[in-house]
């Protein structure tokens, strides 16, 4: 089974691409890390309790306020849901305090999401899917790209387009909040370069500076390239022969680890020249 790692940055169109891939003619199962990240911190979960314990004492508005439709112990009796805008203000930003808070939050959420993702991938494999999309905003940062046969980055060349889309989508965000959220996910053009460094078929960039029709055509081109390098018959053959699939998965992990190491070394050399 081919693992397609889909990533990008906020307001670049990743969710739209994910939706297109889940529909005909592709009809691929999509494992959405953002959706899993919400599920693993719902009231009553271990992640929820850890976040409340860590951030609650210093974030008075961490939970949704009590109101006519929100009792003190929440609608399910497990606690009030997280106030996501308040938590976002706490962790998004470039200063050292926010970076530490973001690292603490990621340390709570990411392990739970990885485990949920593993279970979902295994389920797709057992049901005989030829490919599955891992929709992960921080694919490179979490090093989950090492497990992917192909990585797809949805990017924009013009950063102004990204900011305009974000402010239009989330009008409640101030200009500073929007900029902090964009910066927290890194420069998407760097992700595009890193993706291209994986080589043809292993890394595909979908540029999304235009409209939805142009984006759909870019997706068609990307999928044609992926299927040329990983044809359906090959994926079915690996599904029918689990030992061969396991060997190929180990080899792919080793290859991707080497690619990442070479990329990081090159980036260090480029920074040293500045």
pLDDT along the chain (274 residues), means of 10: 92 93 95 92 93 92 90 88 90 86 92 92 90 93 92 92 87 82 83 91 92 94 92 81 87 93 88 75
Query: What local confidence, expressed as pLDDT, does residue 252 receive?
Result: 92
In which order are the strands placed within the sheet that holds 150-155? Answer: 30-32, 131-135, 2-7, 150-155, 203-207
User: What does the alpha-carbon distance between residue 108 and residue 137 come to, in Å, rounded to a whole number?
Assistant: 17
Question: How many other C-beta atoms can be found within 10 angstroms of the C-beta atom of residue 226?
Answer: 19
Q: Which of 74, 75, 5 is nearest to 33 (CA)?
A: 5
Q: Are 133 and 21 in contact (CB under 8 A)?
A: yes
* Domain architecture of the chain: domains with CATH: 1-29+130-274 (3.40.50.300), 31-128 (3.40.50.300)
* φ, ψ for residue 31, nearest 5 deg: -100, 110
**Is the C-alpha dihedral spanning 126, 222, 190, 188 positive or negative?**
negative
CA distances from 8 to 70, 119, 138, 196 (A): 35, 24, 8, 13
Site of tokens 């951030």? 55
* Residue 224, token pair as written in the block: 């044609």
User: What does the alpha-carbon distance between residue 162 and residue 37 come to, in Å, rounded to a whole number?
Assistant: 23
Query: What local confidence, expressed as pLDDT, does residue 274 receive?
Result: 65
User: What does the alpha-carbon distance between residue 252 and residue 274 come to, in Å, rounded to a whole number?
Assistant: 33
Omega of the bond leading into 25 within 30 degrees of 0 (cis): yes
Query: What local confidence, expressed as pLDDT, does residue 93 receive?
Result: 79
Query: What local confidence, expressed as pLDDT, does residue 140 receive?
Result: 92
Query: What local confidence, expressed as pLDDT, does residue 207 receive?
Result: 95
Query: What local confidence, expressed as pLDDT, does residue 271 receive?
Result: 79
């Amino acid at each position: 089974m081919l693992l397609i790692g889909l990533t990008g940055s906020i307001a670049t169109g990743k969710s739209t691409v994910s939706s297109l891939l889940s529909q005909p003619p592709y009809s691929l199962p999509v494992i959405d890390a953002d959706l899993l990240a919400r599920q693993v911190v719902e009231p009553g979960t271990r992640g929820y309790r850890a976040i409340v314990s860590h951030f609650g004492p210093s974030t008075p508005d961490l939970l949704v306020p009590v109101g006519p439709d929100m009792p003190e112990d929440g609608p399910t009796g497990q606690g009030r849901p997280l106030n996501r805008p308040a938590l976002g203000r706490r962790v998004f930003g470039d200063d050292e305090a926010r970076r530490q808070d973001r690292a603490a939050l990621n340390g709570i959420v990411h392990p739970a999401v990885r485990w949920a993702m593993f279970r979902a991938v295994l389920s797709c494999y057992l049901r005989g899917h030829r490919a599955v999309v891992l929709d992960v905003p921080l694919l490179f940062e979490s090093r989950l790209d090492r497990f992917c046969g192909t990585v797809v980055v949805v990017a924009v060349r013009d950063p102004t387009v990204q900011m305009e889309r974000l402010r239009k989508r989330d009008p409640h965000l101030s200009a500073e909040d929007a900029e902090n959220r964009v910066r927290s996910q890194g420069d998407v053009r760097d992700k595009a370069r890193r993706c291209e460094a994986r080589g043809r078929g292993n890394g595909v960039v979908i540029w999304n500076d235009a409209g939805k029709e142009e984006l759909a055509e870019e997706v068609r081109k990307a999928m044609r390239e992926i299927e040329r390098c990983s044809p359906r018959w090959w994926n079915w053959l690996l599904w029918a022969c689990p030992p061969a699939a396991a060997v190929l998965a180990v080899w792919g992990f080793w290859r991707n680890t080497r690619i990442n190491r070479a990329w990081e070394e090159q980036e260090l050399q480029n920074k040293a020249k500045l």
